[in-house]
Amino acid sequence: MNRMVFNQSDRCEHFSCPESSGSPAVYILLYVCSAAVVLLTVCGNLLVIISVLHFKQLHTATNMLVLSLAVSDFLVGAFVMLPILIWTIESCWIFGRDFCISFWLISYFITVSSIYNIVLIAVDRYLALSNPFLYMNMSVCEDHWYCNCMSLLYYNGNFMGSVMCPGDCFIFLNDVWSVIDLIFSFIFPLSVIIILYTRVFVIAKKHATAIRELNNHTRPKTQKITSHSMKSERKAAKVLGILVSVFLMCLLPYCIYSLLGDVIEIQTETFQKLVILCFLNSTINPVIYALFYPWFRRCIKLIITLRIFQTDSALINILS
């Protein structure tokens, strides 16, 4: 997703790592805050992973997608966040050319994985609300790693531009790969997400109207069950809609700015901040779960108190 275009010869001719002008206290504070963000991202998503894997009640198609997204977010915190934060603090890439290439390939792989996880979540919510009876008997295809394999094809010696500047870390796509990247990692998935969630909100509104009509009449037990099921699906759609909205807010500024790479001169500092904003979505997601999912708060309590090591703890009722 890095289709930034620079006049590389000019950049390298004038590029040098600036010396730090901040006080030592500010310098240390930045590193402490960076470590806190990384730790929060890793621990928060690890709690989601343990919760969904351990408790039997959470073994649903929707939660498997949440698990897959949490794994991607965990990898962001474990392998991607720290280098970009250090690069921003130091104003210089200190890890060398080879690690720079590896860093962008890994971050691209993980980012595309997250994007297509969000796509599958949108598909999952659409199926659950549009045809709940069919949805009960099927699962959304979760074997989506084929989507990410395409990113590995990028490292074939044909997509990169000239040698990057010392102390800098950018990968340059040629025009063909830029178009492929734009469609594969931006236009197609975001179009699917927007279209499906537009449909989801329309269907959820119809369900809300139907529930109000049911509440105005004396109804048998089967209707009560249907009403409860519809409310549950609407609540799940709302929470996952917030998840998708936050994801888009974190991703869109970077995508829009990168699309302007052929038109305007890209500033390294701005580029770094937008990349960090993308990665911060991995920190925010567990917070969303904690705010809107009571079962996740119960899981955190059980994990922190080590009750998950008790016999039959996987069978604990955490949804009531």
Q: For the chain, what is the mean pLDDT? A: 77
* From 79-88, 93-102, 157-166, 205-214, the region with the lowest mean pLDDT: 157-166
Percent of the chain with pLDDT over 70: 69
DSSP 144: -
Alpha carbons 232 and 229: distance in angstroms, whole number: 5
pTM of the model: 0.78
Q: What are the phi and psi torsion angles at 166 (to 5°)?
A: -60, 135
Alpha carbons 307 and 320: distance in angstroms, whole number: 18
CA 289 to mean position of chain CA atoms: 13
User: Hey, which of 33-47, 99-113, 178-192 has the most confident mean pLDDT?
Assistant: 33-47
Amino acid 164 reads: M
Is residue 291 situated within a structural domain? yes
pLDDT at 143: 42
Do the Cβ atoms of 184 and 150 come closer than 8 Å? yes
Query: Which SS3 state, helix, strand or coil, does residue 51 take?
Result: helix
Position 70 confidence tier, pLDDT thresholds 50, 70, 90: very high
pLDDT for residue 165 is more than 70: no
Is residue 320 situated within a structural domain? no
Mean pLDDT within 165-188: 75
pLDDT for residue 158 is more than 50: no
Query: Which SS3 state, helix, strand or coil, does residue 146 take?
Result: helix
- Residue 219: domain span: 8-315
Is residue 2 situated within a structural domain? no
CA distances from 40 to 2, 68, 207, 222, 283 (A): 26, 18, 37, 44, 7
Choose between 150 and 208: higher pLDDT. 208
Position 129 confidence tier, pLDDT thresholds 50, 70, 90: confident
Tally of CB atoms within 10 A around 132: 15
CA distances from 92 to 76, 86, 135, 167 (A): 21, 8, 50, 5
Is residue 182 situated within a structural domain? yes
pLDDT at 15: 53
Is residue 132 situated within a structural domain? yes
| Domains held by the chain: number | 1
> What confidence tens digit (pLDDT) does each residue in 178-223 have?
778 778 888 888 888 888 888 877 877 776 676 666 666 655 555 5
CA 240 to mean position of chain CA atoms: 12
**Residue carrying the six token digits 């969630």:** 197
Cβ contacts of 175-178, under 8 Å, gap ≥ 24: 178/3
Tally of CB atoms within 10 A around 197: 22
Is residue 69 situated within a structural domain? yes
Q: At 214, list the tokens.
A: 């049911």
Is residue 1 situated within a structural domain? no
Mean pLDDT within 143-166: 43
Position 150 confidence tier, pLDDT thresholds 50, 70, 90: very low
Position 26 confidence tier, pLDDT thresholds 50, 70, 90: confident
Mean pLDDT within 165-182: 72
Which of 288, 284, 290, 292 shows the shortest CA–CA distance to 303? 290
Q: At 131, list the tokens.
A: 């045809």
pLDDT at 22: 65
Mean pLDDT within 49-62: 91
> What confidence tens digit (pLDDT) does each residue in 8-22 have?
444 555 555 666 666
Mean pLDDT within 235-253: 80
* From 31-40, 41-50, 284-293, 301-310, the region with the lowest mean pLDDT: 284-293
DSSP 154: T
> What confidence tens digit (pLDDT) does each residue in 247-305 have?
888 888 887 877 776 676 667 788 888 889 989 999 999 998 888 888 899 999 999 99
Is residue 3 situated within a structural domain? no
pLDDT at 203: 79
CATH of the domain at 139: 1.20.1070.10
Which of 181, 146, 177 shows the shortest CA–CA distance to 161? 177
